[in-house]
Structure 1
Amino acid sequence: MTTSFLLIILPAITILLIVTARFRKHYKKKILRRSRETWAIGIYEGHSPVELHPPTGITNPVLTAKDITDISARFVADPFMIKTESGYHLFFEVLNKKRNRGEIAYAFSKNGIAWMYCQVVLRERFHLSYPYLFMAEENYYMIPECMGSGGIQLYRAVHFPDQWQHLTTLVQGKDRFAALVDPSVIHYRNRWYLFSYSLKSKNLHLFTSETITGPWKEHPKSPVVCNSPNFARPGGRVTLYNDVIYRYAQDEIPNYGTKVWAFRITELTENTYSEELAREKPVIQPGDEWWNRDGMHTVDPFQRENGEWFALVDGFSIDRQQPKQ
């Protein structure tokens, strides 16, 4: 090797080694942090779906990993609920300690406050979370986050609430769509709209279809939010209230799952899209209790008959005792 070649290649190798070492250190630190997170599910209440606060007369959290009886669980998170004549049905992620993967579990309540855990209702070979639950055309559907499947998947209940069947792939994971997470849908003015977040680009993508099963196409204005770890990632049910659509966004700064913002969608058609921040304060953010002191990241709101609102939310705390090396 010539001296000039060495003078060029050696600094480049040194820089590469430094960058690699820093990445490994950061990645290890992130993994250790996530392994110390304890997630739980609680209830918030308020006068609107974008003004929520800790409840009075309810002891949070209402569901923790200790309530899970059929598997060894590390945490519960991502609550999505639906109400029927029989009561309230709650679906959520439970992290299976043995498999180290998320599964979808189910709990039931007569009043929406006191919950009885039932069982895991959906598990796959890949990680499952964020079980976005909704009803359409007299069928119960679920679009869970399942990035490991290679696409956005739609499930239908063949026997509600405990038997679910994969129906179709809504968006196939190819190239930039391979890492779309937290899919969130709404049916509005005879069309379906689906939001999903790209982990790589930090963009919020929007898709639309005439029917829930598709075919789905990317919206002309997509991505509707670009390069924003603060405001792009979906954080709960897209909600229609007083003819206004609200979407929730989980804030990943300074860390994943820090808080949730609400955006008012001011225009949504097959060809147009616009939104604005609904309020200057987060809808939910870290609280004073042990279960949500370090962050909150999912909101599923419902309006009571008296006009007031309550929401299933999740939160986490970090075990600050350093793990043994």
Structure 2
Amino acid sequence: MIIEFRCDRAQPRLWMCRESLRVNDQDIPVQIAWTTTPEPRPAGLDMLFELERIVLRKGKTGGADRLKAIPERPRAGEPDVVVDFTTATRDPGCSAKLYLRPRFNGHAGESALLSAILAGDLPVIEIVNELDGSVMDRGHPSAETAAGLSGGLETVMARTLSMLPPILSGAPRLVPQLAAPASGGELRNPAPFVVRGVATSIAKEIYRLCCYAPHWHVGWRFAGNADTWRTGNLSGPAWNVLGDPGNHFYADPFPVQWQGRTFVFFEDLDHRTGKGIISAIEFDGNGPIGTVMPVLEEPWHLSYPFLIEDRGELWMIPESSAHRDVPIYKCIRFPDKWERHSTLLSGLELADVTVTQHNGLHYMFGAWRDGTGGYSDTLAIYYAGQLLGPWQPHAANPILMDRATTRPAGNFVTVDGKLWRPVQDCTNGYGAALGLAEVLELSPTTYKQAVRHLLKPGPLWTGRKLHTLNRCGQLEVIDGSRVQPKTTAFLASLRSNDQSSQWSWHNTLAKPIVRRLL
């Protein structure tokens, strides 16, 4: 197979220097055909991108950086597959069997991509086969790594490139129906956008100086028959907050009843080191008892302590994406002694791994990442005959790319014979809301889901985010985020109107910034 990228000679960027694509476990070389198009370019775009590189990325190289010289590679021959990133008209004499053109909110070319970002959001990506007009795949990327206009361009192109290998593999694609924001292809003046981006970056830095960010906390209640899965919302008994020491945050709560005792396991992150471990606290019929105890620590970051019972044993699969594997730990002494048993998958970033059993098979869901782009927009599924594997990839991996319906947010549940899973809705940022998705089809070759309910923070659960949902018996747990000042003096200053205090500068500068961020 010969793959050819067609790129605009007037806009050569670092992301275009992809030398190969990995398709069906083989590295397929990529040749580049440079094309000159009349696509408009806003004045000063390169200068603005350089400003973002210095200010927002601290001088680091990025995929949106302009190439100083156009690389000339030898052509291997006439291409079998063309991926045209320009707005040029397709050559009718091209003999390629597949002619793909990425579109951004329905329009081709870099200007359409930038126009969508300037309109306030990352675009919906479509990969269109221009030979018959069919949409081969569609996705909506998340923006965790998209700093500024150049960061948005880099994120979108990274995800565009990650969509190509599944298409070229010949595997069945489960093309999601995603509504693109209404926006034209005209390119606006980017200067105000960049200025706002720099100002926001400065405000966030001030916020981080004053407060621990983010600061997650765990909520709990005894829900009875008014749990979230039955009501489709957060109503019912009031939520209580599990206390934390302030310089640690608690997130990803998973409750379990084992050997006659109930514990909630969660990520315990020390803000001073930025590293997470797994801790737990016991609950009785009235709430938490005793103190938080650490139960699992590794040299790398751990989070999302997914728990599962199998063949009379209790197992934990904590997120270990920083170590690029999916480990499984066996409970040796409940609740505080766990031993690494084996590695289920290795050599990949798979976040928030969640396992369910369905029609005689185990299915593992996780937020997949190939080293670039966002962390919460791409779903991968694996299946196995038993929990310890061997695990095989779903035929359509990665299943879908959609920031609103991909990343796991807790255990699967069965309600009235139907299988459901909570999903993170990262449309307005990582962990901003929760969706309750009904699983309509699940097999080694198919997958369909539909989000039936969307839960957002509000009067019933205050804060900025809503991140994880789980239940064990009558005990229901969620998590969210709040403002956590680094000093009590700063907290007092936020609540005080005394402009003469030693913290008066916070009242005039940081206070409105923090409130706006909230």
TM range (shorter): 0.7 to 0.9
- Alpha-carbon offset, residue 211 of structure 1: 1.3
Q: Render the CA deviation track for 1:276-299: whole Å, top value 9, x for unaligned.
A: 1223xx1x321337x841111000
> Which residue among 219, 226, 229 is the counterpart of 1:49?
229
Cα distance in 2 for partners of 1:108, 1:182 equals 23
> Which residue among 316, 326, 329 is the counterpart of 1:155?
329
Answering whether residue 205 of structure 2 is matched by residue 40 of structure 1, we say no
Q: Which residue of 2 aligns with 1:273?
A: 447
**DSSP 3-state at the match of 1:42:** strand
Answering whether residue 64 of structure 2 is matched by residue 64 of structure 1, we say no
Q: Which amino acid aligns with 1:215?
A: P
Cα distance in 1 for partners of 2:451, 2:315 equals 29
Matches within 5 A, 1:16-31: 16-21=49-54, 23-24=56-57, 26=147
Answering whether residue 361 of structure 2 is matched by residue 191 of structure 1, we say yes
How much is the aligned-residue C-alpha RMSD, in angstroms? Answer: 3.0
Cα distance in 1 for partners of 2:239, 2:353 equals 30
Q: 1:311 to 1:91 in 2, by over 3 A?
A: same
**DSSP 3-state at the match of 1:148:** helix
Q: Which residue of 2 aligns with 1:207?
A: 382
Q: Which has the higher contact order (CA 8 A, sep 6+)?
A: 1
Cα distance in 2 for partners of 1:164, 1:288 equals 39
Q: Render the CA deviation track for 1:121-176: whole Å, top value 9, x for unaligned.
A: 00111111110111111111111111111111111111121111111111212xxx
Indicate if the aligned counterparts of 1:43 and 1:55 stay in contact, CA closer than 8 A.
no
Q: Which has the larger radius of gyration?
A: 2
Answering whether residue 403 of structure 2 is matched by residue 224 of structure 1, we say no
Query: Structure 1 vs Structure 2: percent identity of aligned residues?
Result: 24
**DSSP 3-state at the match of 2:467:** strand
**DSSP 3-state at the match of 2:322:** helix
Indicate if the aligned counterparts of 1:102 and 1:127 stay in contact, CA closer than 8 A.
yes
Q: Which residue of 1 aligns with 2:340?
A: 166
Answering whether residue 463 of structure 2 is matched by residue 293 of structure 1, we say yes
Q: Which amino acid aligns with 2:479?
A: D
Q: Which residue of 1 aligns with 2:282?
A: 108
Indicate if the aligned counterparts of 1:104 and 1:123 stay in contact, CA closer than 8 A.
yes
Answering whether residue 320 of structure 2 is matched by residue 146 of structure 1, we say yes
Q: Which residue of 1 aligns with 2:481?
A: 316
Cα distance in 1 for partners of 2:469, 2:398 equals 22
Indicate if the aligned counterparts of 2:354 and 2:364 stay in contact, CA closer than 8 A.
yes
Indicate if the aligned counterparts of 2:368 and 2:398 stay in contact, CA closer than 8 A.
no
Matches within 5 A, 1:129-140: 129-140=303-314
- Alpha-carbon offset, residue 101 of structure 1: 0.5
Matches within 5 A, 1:255-270: 255-270=429-444
Indicate if the aligned counterparts of 2:252 and 2:266 stay in contact, CA closer than 8 A.
yes
Higher normalized strand content (fraction of residues): 1
- Alpha-carbon offset, residue 64 of structure 1: 2.5
Indicate if the aligned counterparts of 1:39 and 1:64 stay in contact, CA closer than 8 A.
no
For structure 2, the 5+ residue unaligned runs are 1-11, 14-43, 59-146, 149-200, 485-493, 495-505, 514-518
For structure 1, the 5+ residue unaligned runs are 1-7, 67-71, 305-309
Cα distance in 2 for partners of 1:17, 1:278 equals 43
Q: 1:231 to 1:23 in 2, by over 3 A?
A: farther
| Runs of 4+ off more than 4 Å | 27-34
- Alpha-carbon offset, residue 13 of structure 1: 6.3
Indicate if the aligned counterparts of 1:88 and 1:112 stay in contact, CA closer than 8 A.
no
**DSSP 3-state at the match of 1:278:** strand
Cα distance in 2 for partners of 1:81, 1:210 equals 26
Higher normalized helix content (fraction of residues): 2
Q: 1:47 to 1:40 in 2, by over 3 A?
A: closer
**TM-score, normalization: structure 2?**
0.52
**DSSP 3-state at the match of 1:17:** helix
Cα distance in 1 for partners of 2:227, 2:45 equals 58
Q: Render the CA deviation track for 1:17-63: whole Å, top value 9, x for unaligned.
A: 1341364284966675694332211125325526242543x5611x1
**DSSP 3-state at the match of 1:37:** coil
Cα distance in 2 for partners of 1:21, 1:47 equals 49
**DSSP 3-state at the match of 2:482:** strand
- Alpha-carbon offset, residue 74 of structure 1: 1.8
Cα distance in 2 for partners of 1:253, 1:112 equals 36
Q: Which amino acid aligns with 1:77?
A: A
Indicate if the aligned counterparts of 1:229 and 1:252 stay in contact, CA closer than 8 A.
yes
